[in-house]
Structure 1
Amino acid sequence: MSVVIPCYRYGHFLEDAVRSVLDDQPGMDVRVLIIDDASPDDSAEVARGIAAREPRVEVAAHAANRGHIATYNEGLLDWASGDYSVLMSADDRLTPGALRRATDLLDTHPDTGFAYGNVLWFSDGAPLPKARTRTRGWSVWPGHQWLERRFRHAQTGIISPEVVVRTSLQQRVGGYDPRLPHVGDQEMWLRLAAHADVGFVRGADQAYYRRHGQNMSTAYTELTTLAQFRLAHELVLTQCHDQLSEASALSDVVHRKLAWKALLNAARAYDRGRTSETPVDELVAFAVDCWPEARRLPIYRALALRRRIGPRAMPYLQPFVLPAAAIRRAGSWWLDRSWKSGGQ
């Protein structure tokens, strides 16, 4: 098992991350590579200190910052040699026994390209929530079936540290795409699913995701995130076209879903009194560009009503206007119905 831990200014989290890999995974033959991407603090020194005490840990320290995508690819494509690989941020942790649970699934189902499970979120400085460590079995889906469902939702629902990938498949499909600094992992799961089946460990918690003020996701706006998700799905459709028999239908459903999400974000800005800080016009423009028939969506009509009412009057009329949360549920049903009926 090869575990790659990229690190940039996360040296104070490293000990927890490494210990969760080496101490909490009994029966696993694990090697760890910490890659410090020219951190301006003492992260590289912390990493070297861990490696000096632990022969299963190696350190690569960059003299100049290369960015997280290049760092991921260095570890997964150039260094990883175990049958299975894990990419885990230095601020996250594995739960006890997570690697054994995932590799048992992968060993039993050789056509499965990666396995994942539930994630526990915790706030930095707070006690770790108790993890469930007993499985209730596995779910294994044909990759195309899993991928189709994720296109319908325009996201995978996977955080990242909970994923164990078959190394041979990872190195065959290639590394993370530098055009996707925010959602490169989402594109990777979809790309892997286009080539192999997908497994899920039921009942147990597989990783901890740490919330703190330096999480990378906090640097991106709603609009930027939607644009990244759009590009991620378009890249999968282009690069994996030969593996996807329904590429055209998948393209339609994901662009429709992303348009709906953009309009929903715009509508919720009125509900929450955040129109001054939300780029409503840009979200609408994104929606129409993403799916030219976006004006057919029920959420578009709901947004149009809010725009007529205006941000000043909206707080007073809020009790009489269907909230965006209810529109969200109705919109999901409408999109699912449209997909099942072939977009008619």
Structure 2
Amino acid sequence: MVVPCYNYGHFLPDCVQGVLRQDGVDVDVLIVDDCSPDGSAAVARQLAEADPRVRVIEHSVNAGHIATYNEGLAAVDGDYVVLLSADDLVTPGSFQRATALLEAHPEVGMVHGFTRTFTDQPPPARTEVKSWTLWPGAEWIARVCRSGGNPVATPEVMLRNDTMRKLGGYDKRAPHAGDFLMWLRAAALGGIGRLNGVDQAYYRVHGKNMHTQQFAGADTDLRGRYQAFEIFFDEDAGGVPDAGALRTAAALAVAREALAIACSLYEAGPSSDDKALAARLVALAEEIYPPAASSRLRQRYGRLAQREAEGKGPLVPRRVSAFNKRVRHHVAWRRWRRSGVESTVKLP
């Protein structure tokens, strides 16, 4: 178990204790503190002194998150490995459930489940597995390419250590989507498993991470995701059937999402910052998938922008658009929670 930490010392005890309390498995924890100025290293040392299963690596100079991840992953030698940020948590029984699938299916190199979000106190976790879903790696890659989304959050992932060794860690060329690139590469090496109907981890939402606003950084996120697809298809997709078609499908899906978000920003009544973000998203869509320039979503965006410029507002009242958007989001969320693969944004 690798716990990278930067300025999250006040979260470390809960994070580490949640790992040490995992039943049915032997665990050890490696905390890698990336020269935190908040005293995180001292907290880590206290945890190591209290339990011999905890080790600490302290950086004297800040190395950044990718280097920190990779140093930790290279230093662990168990059969399975989990990377857990110091501000996140695993649920009771998470490791036993994941290892049960991996031990039953040696063809699977990576297993994930469902991650719940929280701010202060995590909600009660579902701990009874309803079923397993197993995908051959190529099938999982195809599903992800057609959706364009990353259906896997980092906290709930468990990898075989020999798979991680073959992957070689996180790619520094993809600082904003390194985990996504990792999942694609893992699927190129073996099957992907999913635990259904159970909560495997908690992701903490707070003011210091990048998910505090619904669309903040959307252009960076989407460009990073597209970049991960491009690196994967350039270097790792030699054995993937129909790789060329899937590469095009991935670019189309990311472009659609960029245009859909741009339209949503105008439907909600855009601020000047929203308008600037929408323009960047449209430019990104047309850059990565040029036919997007003549798509119905692009035309819709043009109409919305024109009406806003004329002071007319959207054709559909904003309260109706907001309601419809909530319904679509809920349906898509339930589908993702059930299937583990996000929906493609459809052209209207």
Cross-structure match for 1:131: 125
The answer (yes or no) to whether the contact 2:34–2:63 under 8 Å persists in 1 is yes
5 Å-filtered alignment, 1:301-316, equals 301-311=299-309, 313-315=311-313
Cross-structure match for 2:48: 51
One-letter code aligned to 1:155: G
- Equivalents in 2 of 1:141, 1:149: separation in Å? 10
Distance 1:321 1:53, change over 3 A: closer
Cross-structure match for 1:332: 345
Consecutive unaligned residues in structure 2, runs of 5 or more: 333-342
Distance 1:331 1:93, change over 3 A: closer
- Please state if 1:263 is matched with 2:259: yes
Cross-structure match for 2:71: 74
Q: CA deviation at 1:331?
A: 7.7
What CA deviation, in whole Å up to 9, does each residue of 1:215-244 have, x standing for no partner? Answer: 145596111111111101111111113121
- Equivalents in 2 of 1:286, 1:116: separation in Å? 30
Match of 2:223 among 219, 227, 231: 227
2:224 alignment partner, SS class: helix
- Equivalents in 2 of 1:314, 1:265: separation in Å? 20
- Equivalents in 2 of 1:128, 1:109: separation in Å? 31
- Aligned-pair identity (%): 41
Distance 1:152 1:322, change over 3 A: farther
Cross-structure match for 2:103: 107
Cross-structure match for 2:337: none
Q: CA deviation at 1:191?
A: 0.9
Cross-structure match for 2:13: 15
Match of 1:249 among 245, 250, 255: 245
What CA deviation, in whole Å up to 9, does each residue of 1:261-297 have, x standing for no partner? Answer: 1212221221112251132332222111111100332
Moved more, 292-301 or 4-13: 292-301
Moved more, 219-228 or 142-151: 219-228
One-letter code aligned to 1:49: Q
Match of 1:4 among 2, 8, 29: 2
One-letter code aligned to 2:229: H
TM-score where L is the length of structure 1: 0.90
The answer (yes or no) to whether the contact 1:271–1:314 under 8 Å persists in 2 is no
Distance 1:275 1:294, change over 3 A: farther
- Equivalents in 2 of 1:306, 1:244: separation in Å? 40
Cross-structure match for 1:94: 90
2:272 alignment partner, SS class: coil
- Equivalents in 1 of 2:29, 2:271: separation in Å? 46
Moved more, 183-192 or 256-265: 256-265
Q: CA deviation at 1:188?
A: 0.6
The answer (yes or no) to whether the contact 2:6–2:40 under 8 Å persists in 1 is yes
The answer (yes or no) to whether the contact 1:37–1:66 under 8 Å persists in 2 is yes
Cross-structure match for 2:155: 161
Cross-structure match for 1:284: 282
- Equivalents in 2 of 1:237, 1:212: separation in Å? 34
Cross-structure match for 1:203: 197
The answer (yes or no) to whether the contact 1:85–1:166 under 8 Å persists in 2 is yes
Cross-structure match for 1:340: none
1:203 alignment partner, SS class: strand
Q: CA deviation at 1:134?
A: 1.0
- Equivalents in 2 of 1:140, 1:57: separation in Å? 33
Cross-structure match for 1:339: none
RMSD: 2.3
What CA deviation, in whole Å up to 9, does each residue of 1:53-97 have, x standing for no partner? Answer: 010000000000000100111111x21111100000000111000
- Equivalents in 1 of 2:113, 2:226: separation in Å? 25
